[in-house]
Amino acid sequence: MASIVENIQRTLTRIREAEDHAGRAPGSVKLLAVSKTRSPDEVREAHSAGLRAFGENYLQDAMTKVEALADLTLEWHFIGPLQSNKTRAVASHFDWVHSVDRLKIAQRLSDQRAPERAPLNLCIQVNISAEGSKSGVAADEVYALAQQILPLPNVALRGLMAIPAADLSEAEQHQAFARMQRLLEQIQPLSPGIDTLSMGMSDDLEAAVAEGATMVRIGTALFGPRRPLN
Ligand SMILES: *Cc1c(COP(=O)(O)O)cnc(C)c1O
C-alpha cells in the first residue's frame, strides 16, 4: 500500500493539474486533510510531509488528536454535523467550522469563542443536491443566514461548504459545484472576507476545482480506506 507521504504527493499533483486544467493559479486551492478515524501518528506523518490543516467530524475522536498533537502547530477544521452541546469544545479547540446550518449554532460559537483570540472561521453548509437526508441549508436560505451571521463578533463568515449526493454523474457533479460558485458570488457583496468554497473530496476533487473550489477536503486518497470508529 502506498505511504501517506506518497499519497500526499499524488493528491497535490491532482490538485495542481486540476488548477492548471481550469486555468486557475497554482496554489489557489488549499488541501484540507480529513483525518477522522485516523490515529495521532498518522496525522503526525502527514504533518511531517508538510500538511498543516486537518478536518475532523467527531468531537471525541478529534479531541484525542488535538491533545496528543498539542506540540505541533496545526489548523483544526470541524466538518461534521454540529449539535448545540458540542459548540463550546469546538469554539475553543478549532480554527474553522465548515458545517454551520443554522443561526443558533453560529451564535453559540460566537458567544463561546474567547474574544481575545482570532475569530473562528465559519462556512455555511449548503444542501446542494436537495436530498431530504443530508444536512445543510437550502440554497434559497443561504443569503438570509449569511446576513444574520456576519454581525456576530467572534466568528468570521468565510464562505460555503457542500457535500453533493454520492451517486451523481460527472456532469451532475459539475452542475452542483457550479451552483455553489453562483451562491458564493451572491453573498460575496455582503463582506470582503467571504472567500472560501469548501467542496471536493477524494472522488470528485477535479470537478470541484474546475467549478471554483478554494479548499478540497480529502480523506481516503491520503490515508487509505476509512476505519470504523471504536
Ligand atoms: C469524510 C469526509 C470527507 C473526506 O471524504 P473522502 O471521500 O474520504 O475524501 C470530506 N468532507 C466531509 C464533510 C467528510 O465527512
Which pLDDT does position 130 carry in this prediction? 73
Ligand 1 near 219 CB (within 6 A): yes
CA neighbor of 34 nearest in space, from 67, 68, 4, 10: 4
**Is ligand 1 within 6 A of the CB of residue 218?**
yes
Asked if the structure places residue 180 within a domain, the reply is yes
Residue 84 domain flag: yes
pLDDT at residue number 99: 98
pLDDT digits (tens, 9 = 90+) for 119-145: 999 999 999 987 655 689 999 999 999
Q: Tell me, in angstroms, the distance from the centre of ligand 1 to residue 183's CA.
A: 22
Strand, coil or helix: what is 100? Answer: strand
**pLDDT tens-digit profile of 78-116?**
999 999 999 999 999 999 999 999 999 999 999 999 999
Over 90: is that where the pLDDT of 192 sits?
yes
Q: Is residue 228, in this structure, part of any structural domain at all?
A: no
Does 227 have pLDDT greater than 80? no
Q: Which of 34, 57, 180 is the pocket-test mutation for ligand 1 (most atoms within 8 Å of CB)?
A: 34
Q: What is the pLDDT of residue 2?
A: 77
Span from the CA of 25 to the centroid of ligand 1 (angstroms): 25
Q: What pLDDT score does 226 carry?
A: 79
Give me the pLDDT at residue 228, please. 75
Tell whether the model's pLDDT for residue 1 goes beyond 70. no
* Terminal-to-terminal C-alpha distance of the chain: 23
Is residue 37 scored above 80 in pLDDT?
A: yes
In a domain, 229, yes or no: no
* Total count of domains within the chain: 1
Contacts 24+ apart (CB under 8 A), 183-189: 183/126, 183/139, 183/142, 184/159, 184/160, 184/212, 186/142, 186/143, 187/142, 187/143, 187/146, 187/160
Instruction: Round the average pLDDT of the chain to a whole number and report it.
Output: 96
The pLDDT score that the predictor gives to residue 133 is: 58
Q: Whose CA is nearest to atom 4 of ligand 1?
A: 219
Domain CATH number, residue 47: 3.20.20.10
Residue 177 falls inside a structural domain:
yes
Instruction: Let me know if residue 85 belongs to a domain.
Output: yes
What per-residue confidence (pLDDT) applies to 173? 96
Distance 116 CA to ligand 1 centre (A): 32
Which domain covers residue 31, as residue numbers? 4-223
Q: Is the pLDDT of residue 9 over 90?
A: yes
Residue nearest to atom 12 of ligand 1 (CA): 79
Ligand 1 midpoint to CA 147 (Å): 28
Phi, psi dihedrals of residue 7, rounded to the nearest 5°: -65, -35
Phi and psi angles of residue 116, each rounded to the nearest 5 degrees, phi first: -80, -10
Please indicate whether residue 164, judged by its CB atom, sits closer than 6 Å to ligand 1: no
pLDDT tens sequence across 146-190: 999 999 999 999 999 999 998 899 999 999 999 999 999 999 999
Looking at residue 137, what DSSP letter applies?
B
User: What is the distance between the alpha carbons of residues 206 and 14, in angstroms, rounded to a whole number?
Assistant: 8
For residue 124, the CA-to-ligand 1 centroid distance in Å is: 16
Q: CA triplet 16, 181, 110: central angle to 5 degrees?
A: 100
Residue 39: pLDDT band with limits 50, 70, 90: very high
Average pLDDT score over residue span 30-35 = 98
